[in-house]
Every structure is written in structure tokens, then in C-alpha cells.
Amino acid sequence: MEKKLIEIIKEAGEILKEGYFSNKDVSFKAKKDLVTKYDVGIENFLKEKFLKEFQDFNVIAEESDNSNIEFNNSIIVDPIDGTTNFVNKLPHTCISVGVYKNKEPYIGIVYNPILDELYTAKVGNGAFLNGEKIEVSAEDDFQKALISTGFPYTSGTCEVDLNDVIKKIKVILPKCQDIRRLGSAALDLCYVAKGMYEGYYEMNLKAWDVSAGIIILKEAGGKITNLDGNKYVLFENKYIVASNTKIHNALIENLN
Ligand code: IPD
Ligand code: CA
Ligand code: CA
């Protein structure tokens, strides 16, 4: 299944690449939440291929109506993660596909066709970037940790969420090496997986933002929890906290 998935996702990557260098029809789903004809086009392409190739799975995808689709044997798709980057030609944008069997992680694939980075992981087999094994960093000193985060689209409409973002940055920033906000949750998780960041946290993410990245990070030796330090549950938790494992407790402590 993994090989076929990669083949299909690479084909979809060509559509993303074409769109990245062309004019996009941008519309707004919400005050800050963009969508383009390429989000929809890539999603339709992937859905059609996946449903034909993998008939034991349903597909849950960002731009679709998922209300009648039960999460179980599911392929969870974000056709473009980092749409704002895609629109602004900032090369941190990707296709994210997470495969779950009986709700359990199975295969994660994140593909950035602009930088030609393909992150893959199958549970029990480790994580890879373009076929080379990747691992989380060994840094255990929080003061030396590079932390990544993201800002929720609700920061434009919900003062409670905005205040929470600022409050957490105020605590974390002086205590760590620095903070990055690159604009793709799927890639953020992969960057922790390859040891570029020590940790990452964000609120209000959707299952398709993280379905693949959490499998890749886990397989690279990372840890993913909710804000309490307990198991992160897809579709349920407000916060995701991810790390190289070593700084996890310090990150959780500082966030609370
Ligand atoms: C977004 C990105 C971003 C994160 C947002 C997500 P989208 O996904 O992952 O990094 O901060 O919360 O919604 O809208 O580009 O698919
Ligand atoms: Ca996304
Ligand atoms: Ca998206």
C-alpha cells in the first residue's frame, strides 16, 4: 500500500507545483482561512485514486463534507497544508496523508514537492526523508531547544484563543533557544522528526493537519501528547504537544 500511496501523492505533487507557480483563485472559508482551486483539485484527485485503489478504506479530507464518514479504516487527507504559504509562494507547503486501520496509526506520508522532500513512515519501520532514515534530536536542555508553533485561524475572531497564544509565547520564549512559526503543521511535525526542532505545540488543529505527521514523528523517536501530557486523540484534543521526547516534560510544564 505504501508504494502505491507514494506514487499517487507524487502525481498530486505535480498539481501542487503547477499551482504554486501560477495564478490561484483564492477564496475565504473564514476571516483568515484561505482555500484555492488547487486545494479542491488535489483533494478530488487523491480521493478518486485512493477510493479506487484502497477499497477497504474511506477518505476523510479537509475540503469535503465528512459528516457521514466514520473514522475507522480511514485515509485522512490535507490536500495542501500551508495554504497561506502556497498562496504567497513561501515554499513550506505540502500534501499530508495519514492512513489509519481500526483507528490506529498505520502509514504517514508528507510531501513537499517544492523542496522535493518526501517524509514517510509505516508503524514499526521507522521514519524516512527521501528514503534516508531520520531521527529526533538528542538535545535535552530546554534552554537550547528550538520550538515551533502555529497560530490558530481563530486568533482573528476569538480573544480567548488569541490571549492563550500570547500567554504561552510569553512564558516559553525566554526559556528556550527561540520560536519558529513556519505555517504548516504537517511539516512542523516532520521537522521535529528530523531533529531540526526539539518541540512543537499548537491549538485548534484538525485531524488532517496532523494525521500523517504524528505517525512520522512517533516513528522517528518523538513523543506526541495533549496539553495534560496524556495520549493525543485525533478529532478530540484542543492542543497538540510534540517533541523529541527528551524535552517533553519541560515543554508541558512551561505550557501549563
Ligand atoms: C494550517 C497550517 C498552519 C496551522 C493552521 C492550519 P491549512 O493548515 O497547518 O500551520 O497553523 O492552524 O490550519 O489551512 O494551511 O491546511
Ligand atoms: Ca492543514
Ligand atoms: Ca489544507
| Residue 66 belongs to domain with CATH number | 3.30.540.10
- Please give the average per-residue pLDDT across 120-124, as a whole number: 98
- Please give the average per-residue pLDDT across 119-138, as a whole number: 98
pTM: 0.97
Report pLDDT digits (tens) over 59-110: 999 999 999 999 999 999 999 999 999 999 999 999 999 999 999 999 999 9
Q: What is the pLDDT of residue 72?
A: 97
8, 123: one domain: yes
19 lines ligand 1 (CB under 6 A): no
150 lines ligand 1 (CB under 6 A): yes
Nearest atom of ligand 1 to the alpha carbon of 204: 12
118, 160: one domain: no
Tell whether the model's pLDDT for residue 24 goes beyond 90: no
128, 185: one domain: no
105 lines ligand 1 (CB under 6 A): no
Nearest atom of ligand 1 to the alpha carbon of 78: 16
Strands (E), the chain: 26-28, 34-36, 58-61, 74-81, 94-101, 104-112, 117-122, 127-129, 132-134, 146-149, 178-180, 199-203, 223-225, 239-243
* Residue 96: domain span: 2-134
Cα–ligand 1 centroid distance for 211 (angstroms): 13
Cα–ligand 1 centroid distance for 208 (angstroms): 10
119, 9: one domain: yes
